[in-house]
Structure 1
Amino acid sequence: LAIKRNMKWVIQLTILLAVGATIFYGFYPILYMLGISETLSSTLGIILAIALSIVLYKFPEWYVIDTIGIIIGAAASSIFGISFGILPAIVLLSLLAIYDAISVYKTKHMIDLAEGVMDLRLPILFIIPKKLNYSFIKDGMKKEGERDAFFMGLGDAVMPTVLVVSANVFIAHTGFISYPALGAIIGTLTGFIGLTIFVMKGKPQAGLPFLNSGVILGYLAGALLSGTPLLG
């Protein structure tokens, strides 16, 4: 609605505020776990959030967007992962995969939305250039013809990782990672390979059907092979 009414600044402001908040919640616990006091951790988290948000707004080059996207993705997936149990995460990922498929292949409104917010140059996607001299500021995202970069929605990276985090948090294990979580990672990568094959053909693809199905199947395989109860 905001795009149709030429009010993209509303979307930009909202996303920038969300970016800043997510960056803060990403850095704060890390700083605190490093032994820094709560007050100083909060202060440094706020400073980093503001600084990175300003850099993003002033210089939205592809590597800036990707770097901040990684920070946001890690923070968001961690927050959601420790908030959801395994079953709610699986249900959520299944529903989102269905929605993504419908919105890309049938109604196609997700494609229109992606193109509409592309000019905002915000970390809502990852940009993988096809050539070294590519500049997102100058070249942007071509709507016609062959594009100079691959584009992947940030949500496509965040949502599968939610189950990975949940599987590692809610399943008792020894060592750094549980077998179901490891299986979920392998499943996600397998789904990503499948997605990449279709993307290379040049047509927009719904990422979540590939990635979410991969992470769910990988989780189930890891749980079954390790003898872990499916729901932890």
Structure 2
Amino acid sequence: MNFGRIMPLLAMPVMLVIVEVGAILLSLPLIDAGIVVFENPESLVNPLIFIAILLVFTGLLLLLIRYKAEKVIQAIILISIFFTFVYIFSGITFVLMGDTLTGSVLALAASIAATVVLYLYPEWYVLDTLGLLIAAGAASIFGISLDVIPVVLLLAALAVYDAISVYRTKHMLTLAEGVVNLKSPILFIVPKKKDYSYRRDGLDTTGEGERSAFLIGMGDLIMPSILVVSANVYTASVRLGPISVPALGAMIGSVLGLIFLLSYVIKGKPQAGLPPINGGAIIGFLIGYLVTVL
């Protein structure tokens, strides 16, 4: 196999594991800092709120893409990412320095610096590196905010929505194309050639008529990681070091689901990522949970 086929098969599963492990490591600082989204993690209304916000946000971006409001889209994405950085760095500085003014200033400065770097130098390795931190932070925040049952329901609903939006309405493909053209940091990019530059080449086709890089949405790594964190926080079961067996099962299942997805993506056709990845995470979690109770 050549470089262009080996890289995504290796890089994407590794990135998923990094996000999941990072989300687990961030969960304790974020819990200590009291950074949560929902006050009642067991409420089944929480997934409905999550999906409603997602639909509104998606609809807004599609409307802006239709009217070619690129600058507005970029501003919305960067502002959202900035606040995610604020939550992440606030949790870290809270653990290291406590609830101090110095810690708050450092968290704010780090958030501004990371956002500016993403805006000024959107090279693929910059987007991927900081994207891993964003994805781990977002997954951790929602994972500690939602109990396991709401997360399972959320992942199942999003898998169905993703399949519909890619294969039927195809609006997710329109959204992805619009975001890619802006070089916005909500996608992970895996190059097919060693001298690839996202800033220089974008996603121009290669000599064989294929795109010069593979893409995977940040949400495809965030969503299964939410279940991993939730299972690790809310299931009182057998643990292997810092991770519970159900959480480990969700990790393994999500990675296997991603590998299954890549076997189709490698052929060059856009695929809905959440059905196999979320499905694998849910099945892996259930297996891990059953192992601990039987």
Question: Do they superpose with TM above 0.5?
Answer: yes
Is 1:57–2:123 an aligned residue pair? no
Aligned residue for 2:110, secondary structure, equals helix
CA-CA distance at 1:36 after TM superposition: 4.8
1:85-143 Cα distance to aligned partner (Å, 9 max, x none): 11100000001000000111111111111001112112111001111110111111237
- Structure 1 distance, partners of 2:101, 2:203, is 42
Please say if 1:42 is aligned against 2:99: no
Give the letter for the 1:118 counterpart: V
d(CA) in 2 for partners of 1:220, 1:143: 41
| TM-score (ref. length: structure 1) | 0.94
| 1:1-232 aligned within 5 A | 1-142=63-204, 145-173=209-237, 174=239, 175-227=241-293
Residue-pair matches, total: 228
Identity %: 52
Q: Deviations over 1:172-198 (max 9, x none)?
A: 245311000000000011001101101
Deviation beyond 4 Å, 4+ runs, structure 1: none
Structure 1 range deviating more: 53-62 or 32-41: 32-41
Comparing 191-200 with 32-41, greater Cα deviation is found at: 32-41
User: What is the CA–CA distance in structure 2 between the aligned matches of 1:80 and 1:143, rounded to whole Å?
Assistant: 37
Q: Which runs of 5+ in 2 are unaligned?
A: 1-62
TM-score (norm 2): 0.75
CA RMSD, aligned part only? 1.4
SS at match of 2:65: coil
Q: How far apart are the structure 2 equivalents of 1:41 and 1:208?
A: 37
Q: Post-superposition shift, 1:37?
A: 4.7
- Structure with the larger RCO, 1 or 2 (CA within 8 Å, 6+ apart): 2
Would the aligned equivalents of 2:97 and 2:103 in 1 still touch at CA under 8 Å?
Answer: no
Write the distance in 2 (CA, Å) between the matches of 1:107 and 1:69.
27
**Worse-matched range after superposition: 178-187 or 31-40:** 31-40
Structure 1 residue 38, shift from structure 2 partner: 2.7
Which shifted more, 187-196 or 171-180? 171-180
Give 3-state SS (helix, strand or coil) of 1:216's partner: helix
Between the aligned partners of 2:131 and 2:168, the Cα distance in structure 1 is 28
Q: Compute the displacement of 1:148 (Å).
A: 1.1
**2: distance between equivalents of 1:156 and 1:134?**
23
| Partner SS state of residue 188, structure 2 | strand
1:149 corresponds to which letter in structure 2? Answer: A
